[in-house]
Amino acid sequence: MTPRAKSAASETPQAGKTPRLTRAQRTSILKALADPKRFELLERIARSQCPLGCSEAMEALAIAPATLSHHIKELHTSGLIDVRREGKFAFLSIKPHVLEAIAEGLASLARPNCGRS
């Protein structure tokens, strides 16, 4: 993903507006979600009521620290999560506007039946 594509996915949209994603952003997001463990990590972050600590994520997924770090990097680079650092600890939170944008983009691919059998 280009730096410009990355920064656009990272921006918070104006109130009430879902951002439009570029083709590069959509591709990056879908590629990030294609890995089952990464998708599971995203689900855990989304379901957490507070930002999810990395140690909690590592325990829940039963993966090595280096593997978790790689998955976090991919999700963050694609614009799906925020990473907040407090000293040596990192906390992960979802970017709902990016998930909404990718969901809308995928929904737009569904076309009404043209009437042919």
The arithmetic mean of pLDDT across residues 92-111, rounded, is 91
Per-residue buried b or exposed e for 59-72, using 16+ beta carbons within 10 Å of the residue's own CB: eebebeeeebeebb
Q: Decide if domain 22-102 falls under CATH 1.10.10.10.
A: yes
Q: Give pLDDT tens digits for 55-81.
A: 999 999 999 999 999 999 999 999 999
Of the two residues 88 and 8, the one the predictor is more confident about is 88
Give the global pTM: 0.79
Please write the tens of the pLDDT for every residue from 2-42.
444 444 454 555 555 667 899 999 999 999 999 999 999 99
Confidence of residue 109 (pLDDT cuts 50, 70, 90): confident
More confident residue, 19 or 45: 45
Return d(Cα 39, Cα 35) in angstroms, integer: 6
CA distances from 56 to 13, 33, 38 (A): 29, 20, 15
Per-residue pLDDT at 17: 65
End-to-end CA distance of the chain: give it in Å, rounded: 41
Confidence (pLDDT) at 93: 98
Instruction: Answer whether 26's CB lies under 8 Å from 105's CB.
Output: yes
Amino acid type, 66: A
Contacts of 53 (CB under 8 A, 6+ apart): 89, 90, 91, 92
Domain segments of the chain as ranges: 22-102
CB atoms within 10 A of CB 46: 16
